[in-house]
Amino acid sequence: MRLKRVALTISRMPKRSFSRLGAVLLPVVSAAVTAALVVSALGQPSAAPAPESDSTSVKVDGVETLTNIESVAYTQALASAKAKKPKVTVIGTGGTISGVATSRSSFQNYRSGQIAIGDMVGYLQPEIGAVADVSTVQFGNKGSGGYTIPEFHALTLAVEKALKSSDGVVVTTGTDTMEEFAYWLDLSVRSQKPVVLTGAMRPWAAVSPDGPKVIGADGPANLYNAIVLAASQATYCYGAVLMLGDEFHAARDVTKTSSYRMDTFQTREFGVLGWIDGSNIKVGRAPARIQECDDKSKWYTPFNLNKLGPEALPGSRW
């Protein structure tokens, strides 16, 4: 019909106009007629087939793994998270995430360890309640640099106690020594269930613990995502992982690179383990110990703090 209208319009134009426009319109009309003939002969074009992916992709309840994890226990853990609402225990130790700033726009002037972990998890309700049944333990509430070796020992036992009844544990702490907290738990926790450490680069509230949120505070999102990650079982058999800024890293590889930037934690040589985008979790790689997931005797580290008291540890008198 469009071609007919064009032809009719041209036929009614004065000869001088036709001669001027003929050189311009003729190639366009010819191309259109040719295209129409091709479509008529071949039929409507179909969508190009999606390219095949070289990665092994497994999706279970919002978890996508782009690495080939050949483990029965890992697969069962992912399936269990889909079959029932997981239980997650959040253990609070303080840090910037529980800090109170002098004003809503103060990112560096604040006191850490001012807000109870139960209040922070309560702020995430009711949304987090749709993800998991969350309980809290207030282990401590101070800066991460203030913990001793005996307290680290007690934290391991607290995590293992929580994992006896929960499907995963989240530990909140300060970022100054978060990588040390994570590596300690990676070495000493003997449960294969997810252990996720998180915190914040900006304090939670301003003026008072129940005051307004600091502008751009990253704590609420980090805590929410850490619970989502632990509940998903995506890091089952990974050992301890560190989650900040929508990314999670292996405790053995991650390091803090800046005292101010929100994306301070990086794994320079190997890259992040994966990403959390809303309810979707994408796992890009797995730590080496996942290969022993089906054999606990090989998966365990040599450290069993249930049999080793804090007094036997180096630095226990510090």
pLDDT-derived band at 313, boundaries 50, 70, 90? confident
Fold of 58-310: Rossmann fold (3.40.50)
232 is in an annotated binding site: no
Specify the pLDDT at position 150: 94
CA distance 218 to 197: 14
When pLDDT is averaged across residues 156-182 and rounded to a whole number, the result is 95
Mean pLDDT of the chain: 82
pLDDT tens readout for residues 105-143: 988 888 999 999 999 999 999 999 999 999 999 999 999
Task: Please enumerate in sequence order all residues whose Cβ is within 8 A of that of 266, keeping only pairs 6 or more positions apart, or say none.
Answer: 249, 254, 255, 257
144 is in an annotated binding site: yes
DSSP 216-276: T--HHHHHHHHHHHHHHTTTTTS-EEEEETTEEEETTT-EE--SS-TT-EE-TTT--SEEE
Higher pLDDT, 87 or 9: 87
167-176, 184-193, 232-241, 248-257: least confidently modelled range: 248-257
pLDDT-derived band at 317, boundaries 50, 70, 90? low
CA 231 from chain centre, in angstroms, equals 12
Q: Which residues are catalytic?
A: 96
SS3 of residue 187 by DSSP: helix
Domain ranges of the chain: 2-42, 58-310
pLDDT tens readout for residues 248-280: 999 898 877 777 776 777 787 788 999 999 889
106 is in an annotated binding site: no
H-run or E-run covering 91: strand 87-92
Specify the pLDDT at position 114: 96
pLDDT tens readout for residues 19-67: 443 443 334 334 443 333 333 333 433 333 333 334 343 333 578 877 7
